[in-house]
Amino acid sequence: MFVSITNENSCATDFLISSLLQDWFNSLMEVDTPKGKFYRAINEFSANRKRHVMKLPEFYACDPVAMALALEDSILLEADRKFCDVELWGELTRGQMVIDWTNKMGKEANVDIVTKIDHVRVKELMEDMLKE
Q: Whole domain around residue 98: which residue ranges?
A: 3-129
pLDDT tens, position by position, 71-114: 999 999 988 899 998 888 877 778 888 889 999 999 999 988 88
pLDDT tens, position by position, 11-61: 555 544 444 567 788 888 899 999 999 999 998 888 888 778 888 767 667
Q: What is the per-residue pLDDT for 74? A: 94
> Does the CA dihedral 37-39-43-48 come out positive or negative?
negative
CATH number at residue 113: 3.90.245.10
- Rounded to 5°, the CA angle 30-34-38 comes to 70
Total number of domains constituting the chain? 1
CA distance 113 to 130: 28
